[in-house]
Every structure is written in structure tokens, then in C-alpha cells.
Chains A and B, each alone.
Chain A
Amino acid sequence: MPVWDEVHPATISVQRMRAGDHCFVSYGDDESNWDVLTTFAWTGLARGEKVMVFAAPQVSDDEVWSRLEADSPSMARVRARGQLVLTSMRSLIRPDVGFTPERQWQRIREETALSGRQGYTGLRTFIDMHWVPDLDADIDVMMHRESHAGHLFTDGSYSEICAYDRRWFDEDVLARMCRAHPVNLLTRLGELRAVHGDGSLRLIGEADLATGEQFGAAVGEALTRTADARKLVVDLTQLSFLSVRCADDLLRLVRAADGHDRVEVRCESGQLRVLRALGEHGSARLVLTGMGRRC
């Protein structure tokens, strides 16, 4: 994992994107990129948003529709009513031919307003940055656009992923663009990232069958690291998925942590219900909190 990706302070999974987020993601293989693209699109459709996909210009529309499973009955309905649209940067800025940030921003504002009039809860776009060589755009102009686009996101009706191919963009550009975006996305589905802090452990991504061992090891390491302080905060709120098994493993690890007086687990309502159902009350040292309050 590149350092610039590791140190971004607001890294989340694509499933946790909120309306109004402006996100950076990088990919080193096409399959990871498809997973992020399709998840982004499907999640937006499920939330009642309009979705515009700007795939890499070298990819055919047929392949994009196929990846989005557009021939399934439910997706066919979405496509037919115009909630899911494939387009390109070239089409967006027409009749202009050359890229300017101002023209692109104007068109995005128009499309966002249109999606509102069409009854959608917002607009989200997935923009593969291969449009830059396709339009022979200046990299510095593109970076200026990325660094000064905050005004598009202020009212929460527009969200955007900018997907950078690590095989094409220079390391320096990737590092600067990652920093320029308020939100950085995990690069693939099914990834779990553990961020150890002073007396805390923050888990980001998905805790499931594949990452369960990593999940348990991270909690175990955090308990060992905080044995002297006898207190630990485990933050689950950035997990987009917590499996039954990982929830149960967490409870077992906390129950066995005899040296700790208090282990606070910060969780969301769905996680809270699962932890309670699995027998959270088996340990006096475990404190479940949601939104900063004891539950």
C-alpha cells in the first residue's frame, strides 16, 4: 500500500460514502476498479440517487452495462427510466472540445439540478481519470480542478469518485491527488484496515470470513498494547460490514481480557443489535457506545 494512501486521515470503504463526499480511489488492476464502480453505482441506486458513470474511454459501453448487470429485470427498469446513465467527459463538456474546470463544473451543476427535478435524492458520478489522456488535457489543469472543486459538494446533493489508474498516473500526481480529496477510498472490496492509536483501535472496511483472522489479530494486538493502561477503545463505526463471526470473536476476546477494566466498543445501531443478540452482557468490562453515548 502506498504511503500516501495509508496516511490519509479520512479513509472509508465505498459502501460508506455519504451524499456530498468527494472521493479519491486508485487502482492497480481492472477487477478492483470494476468492484468499486459497480458497488458505487448499486449503492447510489439503492439510495434513490441518479448515477452517472464515466468509465475509461477505452472500455465499451457494452462491457460497462454487462458489469452493472443491466440486463437483470430490476436493473433494466433502472436503466430504462434513466436513473443509471453511461457517459464520458467528452460528451459532458460538449460543445466545448478542450477541458476547462469551469465548463465541467457548470455541466455538473446543471446535471445535479436536473437530477433533483427528476425526483432523485441526488446525483453521484464515477469518473475514471483516463479521460485526461483521452482529451489530451493538461495534468496541472486537471489537478487544479480536483483541488478546487469543493463548491460542488457543499449542499450534499452531489457526490463523486475520481478513480486513478496507478499504471498510468505518476506517483507524485497520485500522492497529490489523494491529499487533495477530502475522502480516500479503500482500493478494493473486502478489504479491512486496522488503525492503531494511543489506547484505541479503529477498524475500516469489511470484517468477514476472509478478513476475520486479521480482525481478531488486530483486536488481540490492541488488547496487548493497552494492557498496562487497562483501557481500550475499539471503534467499529467505519466498518461497512461486521460478520456474525467477527462480532462473536470480538465478544470472546473482550471477555477473555482479564487485565482490562474497560473496553469501550463504539458501534452503529446494526452492529449494536448484533453484539447484544450474541450476548454482550457476558462481560462487565465491555461498554457498547453508539454516537458517543453509552447504550
Chain B
Amino acid sequence: MLTDPAGGRAGEPAECLLKVAFTGEDLPRLRVLIEQRASLAGLSEPRRGEFVLAMDALASNVVEHAGGDGALALTRVGDELECRISDSGPGFSEDVIPELAPGINGGPAGRGLWLTRLLADRLVIAAASPGAVVTFAMRLA
């Protein structure tokens, strides 16, 4: 599969469903919005709940570790629902994701990314200048 530098699928027809900046206080409303847009895009339960859970984990990371605010884009790309979260923090790589479940190897670091990698059909972490762009997607089928 071809991907663009930020981890999106290249060359597929895309429909932007939501584009929004956020801070910590926006997270409850953002979860509701993502749930609604994901439902209208055809992502059914239990995958929809997992999509919201992953989005919240990544957005919470931005609020806690990357300057407190970020931007989110929700896009339907081909047969996938894609969420892209960007920030202007210090940046990071996939190395922060623990190999084993966070409860097994002891440390809480990277638990949101770890679970997102487990739940998503696609997860890409890319560097930006400044910050990072994390993209994950789930198939709508």
C-alpha cells in the first residue's frame, strides 16, 4: 500500500469528515463528535467504540506531553476511516511503544499508543517540524 509521508493512504478518494483544533477541555465533545461522524461513515460497534478510545488516547497524549493543543482530521479514505492527530510538541518515534502490554512490563508509558496499535488496522507515526503526526485507521467493512 502506498502511503504519504504522514501515514495516509495515497491515491485513494478521500472525504474530509471533520477538521478541528483541540485542547484538553475539548476532549469530551470531541469524543461525541468522532462517534457521530464515525457512525455516519458506517463504522459499526464495537469498532466504533475502539476508534473513539484510540482517538482519545492519542489526543490525551498531545494535551499531556506535546504542548496542550493539537489538530485532528477525520477522513474517509477508500474503505477506511482515518484519524490524523498532529501536534507541535517535541516529537517522538515508534520506539516509545512498549512491546508487551503495559500492565505486564510494568510502566505506564506508551500505553495509549500500544493499545492503538493493537486496535487499529493501520498506525503510522511521522515526524513534523515541529512535533509529530500520528495517523491510525480502521476498515469500515
Show the binding face of A for B, using Cβ within 8 Å: 15, 35, 38-39, 42-43, 45-47, 69, 72-74, 78, 189-190, 206, 208-210, 241, 243-245, 248, 251-252, 255, 269-270, 273-274, 277-280, 282
The reply to whether A208 and B32 contact each other, CB–CB distance below 8 Å, is no
* C-alpha spacing A106/B68, complex, angstroms: 51
Q: Is the CB of A243 within 8 A of B57?
A: yes
Q: Which one of B4-12, B88-96, B99-107 contacts A?
A: B99-107
Determine if B24 and A15 form an interchain contact, defined as CB atoms under 8 angstroms apart: no
Whether a CB of chain A sits under 8 angstroms from the CB of B111 is yes
Q: Which residues of B contact A278 (CB under 8 A)?
A: 101-103, 111, 115
28 contacts between A and B (CB under 8 A): A15-B32, A42-B32, A42-B33, A42-B35, A42-B36, A46-B40, A208-B27, A208-B31, A209-B63, A241-B28, A243-B57, A243-B60, A244-B57, A248-B103, A248-B108, A248-B111, A251-B103, A255-B103, A270-B50, A270-B53, A273-B46, A274-B53, A274-B115, A277-B101, A277-B115, A278-B111, A279-B102, A282-B104
Residue in B17, B32, B115 with the greatest tally of chain A CB atoms within 10 Å: B32
Q: Are B60 and A43 in contact (CB-based, < 8 A)?
A: no
Which residues in B have their C-beta under 8 angstroms from that of A274?
53, 115
CB distance from B27 to the nearest CB of A (A): 6
- Provided the pairs A241-B56, A245-B108, A278-B115 are in contact, do residues A38 and B49 lie with their beta carbons within 8 angstroms? no
Which one of A38, A190, A255 has the greatest number of beta carbons of chain B within 10 Å? A190
- Tally of chain B residues near chain A (CB < 8 A): 36
B121 within 8 A of A: no
Distance (whole angstroms) from the CB of B81 to the closest CB of chain A: 12
**Given the complex, which residues of A lie within 8 Å of B28, measured CB to CB?**
35, 189-190, 206, 208, 210, 241
Contact B37 A244 (CB under 8 A): no
Interface flags for B51-64 (1: CB within 8 Å of A; 0: not) read 01100110010011
Pairwise interchain contact A190-B27, C-beta atoms closer than 8 A: yes
- CB neighbours (8 Å) of A255 from chain B are 103
Q: Give the nearest-CB partner of A241 in chain B.
A: B31
Report chain A residues within 8 Å CB of B15. Answer: 73
Contact B18 A208 (CB under 8 A): no
* B3 contacts chain A at the CB level, 8 A cutoff: no
In the A-B complex, list the 10 residue pairs whose CB atoms are closest, starting with the nearest. A279-B103, A190-B28, A46-B39, A42-B36, A189-B28, A279-B101, A209-B60, A74-B40, A244-B57, A270-B49
- Complex-state Cα separation, A269 to B46, whole angstroms: 9
* In the complex, B21 has a CB within 8 A of chain A: no
The reply to whether A244 and B112 form a contact with Cβ atoms under 8 Å apart is yes
Residues of B within 8 A of A241 (CB): 28, 31, 52, 56
Q: Which residues of B contact A244 (CB under 8 A)?
A: 53, 56-57, 111-112, 115
- List residues of chain B with CB within 8 A of the CB of A72: 17-18
Q: Could you say which residues of chain A place their CB within 8 Å of the CB of B25?
A: 190, 210
Shortest distance between the CB of A189 and any CB in chain B (Å): 4
User: Closest CB-CB distance, A56 to chain B, in whole Å?
Assistant: 20
Contacts of A47 in B (CB 8 A): 39
How far is B39's CA from A47's CA once the two chains are assembled, in angstroms?
8
Q: Decide: A279 near B104, CB < 8 A? Known: A38-B32, A72-B18, A243-B53.
A: yes
User: In the assembled complex, which residues on chain A have CB atoms less than 8 Å from the CB atom of B29?
Assistant: 35, 38-39, 189
**B36 and A43 contacting across the interface, CB-CB below 8 Å:** yes
Q: Is the CB of B112 within 8 A of A245?
A: yes
Cα distance A255–B56 when bound, in Å? 25
Which A residues are in CB contact (< 8 Å) with B49? 270
Q: Closest Cβ of chain B: how far from A224's Cβ, in Å?
A: 22
Cα distance, A78 to B17, chains bound together (Å)? 14
User: In this assembly, does B41 line the interface, its C-beta being within 8 Å of a C-beta of chain A?
Assistant: yes
**Cβ of B43 to closest chain A Cβ, rounded Å:** 10
